[in-house]
């Protein structure tokens, strides 16, 4: 296994830290055994290369064997360079470069789709992706001002479900939502407006787009103007607000329950 050159390590460091590098190369970096395990399970054909410290080779020999079987390029990296690549205080010594997926075709017959309108907290975006995977949601549209789904903070929060949910590149979700609406999708915007329909009384179509807005401002007026309705998780206590990722989980649970 060849050593990782310093220039190669610096390129990986930039890929971890710079969204424009990720976008231009259509690749991203995952770190740690759990994310690499999920990549091997769900998207082995998209793994371009794997990188290990000497200690990681001893700790995770099965990864190297799997990479060799699939003819994936493998490199050994020094602890020092591993620290340069990682954006964590305690690098795990295992990295992989992954190709971004092509935007998948949406099955228009019977599904639930999410659209995130400027959800900027990486932890929230990652948790939403993880939650969507749990409920069988296959497609999430992200506006251009959402947190980058391929940043290391989002990837860690997804717990590997970035490989099972299609998020594509960030962009103009208004056009995406309109296109779905023209295909017969019911578009519902989650809000905290008291006049919004209660989640527990709402009638859901078989094809639904649930739109969630930014932590600070909610769904934009531009998106609200085209929604078929607004929906709220009713408050029963004295809480002032509800985290957007928590809101997604509650709403998906109820939508899927009613669809059963």
Identify the three-state secondary structure at position 51.
strand
Reported as type and span, the H/E element at residue 73 is: strand 73-76
Q: Per the CATH hierarchy, to which homologous superfamily does domain 112-259 belong? A: SPOUT methyltransferase, trefoil knot domain (3.40.1280.10)
Q: Could you tell me the fold of the domain covering 6-99?
A: 60s Ribosomal Protein L30; Chain: A; (3.30.1330)
CATH 3.40.1280.10, the chain: domain bounds: 112-259
Cα–Cα distance, 25 to 27 (Å, whole number): 5
Cα dist. 233→32, 156, 230, 248 in Å?
36, 27, 11, 10
CB atoms within 10 A of CB 7: 8
Residue from 190, 189, 185, 143 nearest 167 by CA: 143
Per-residue pLDDT in tens (0 to 9) along the chain, 260 residues: 899 999 999 999 999 999 999 999 999 999 999 999 999 999 999 999 999 999 999 999 999 999 999 999 999 999 999 999 999 988 999 999 999 988 765 666 669 999 999 999 999 999 999 999 999 999 999 999 999 999 999 999 999 999 999 998 899 999 999 999 999 999 999 998 888 999 999 999 999 999 999 988 899 999 999 999 999 999 899 888 899 999 999 999 999 999 87
Structure-token pair, residue 89 = 């205080």
**What's the whole-model pTM score?**
0.94
């Amino acid at each position: 296994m060849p050593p990782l050159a310093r220039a190669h390590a610096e390129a990986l460091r930039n890929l971890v830290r710079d969204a424009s590098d990720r976008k231009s190369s259509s690749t991203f970096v995952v770190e740690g055994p759990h994310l690499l395990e999920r990549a091997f399970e769900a998207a082995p054909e998209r793994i371009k290369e794997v990188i290990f410290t000497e200690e990681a080779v001893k700790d995770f020999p099965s990864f190297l064997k799997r990479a060799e079987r699939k003819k994936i390029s493998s490199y050994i990296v020094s602890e020092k360079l591993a620290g340069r690549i990682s954006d964590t205080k305690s690098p795990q010594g295992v990295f992989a470069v992954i190709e971004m997926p092509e935007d998948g075709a949406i099955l228009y017959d019977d599904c639930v789709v999410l659209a995130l309108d400027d959800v900027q907290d990486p932890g929230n975006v990652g948790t939403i992706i993880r939650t969507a995977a749990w409920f069988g949601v296959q497609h999430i549209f992200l506006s251009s001002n959402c947190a980058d789904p391929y940043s290391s903070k989002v990837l860690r929060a997804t717990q590997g479900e970035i490989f099972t949910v299609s998020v594509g590149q960030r962009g103009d979700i208004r056009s995406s939502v309109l296109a779905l609406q023209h295909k017969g999708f019911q578009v519902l915007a989650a809000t905290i407006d008291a006049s919004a329909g209660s989640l527990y009384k709402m009638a859901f179509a078989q094809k639904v787009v649930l739109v969630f807005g930014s932590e600070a401002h909610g769904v934009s007026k531009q998106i609200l103007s085209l929604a078929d309705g607004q929906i709220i998780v009713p408050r029963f206590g004295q809480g002032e607000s509800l985290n957007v990722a928590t809101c997604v989980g509650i709403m998906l649970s109820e939508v899927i329950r009613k669809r059963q």
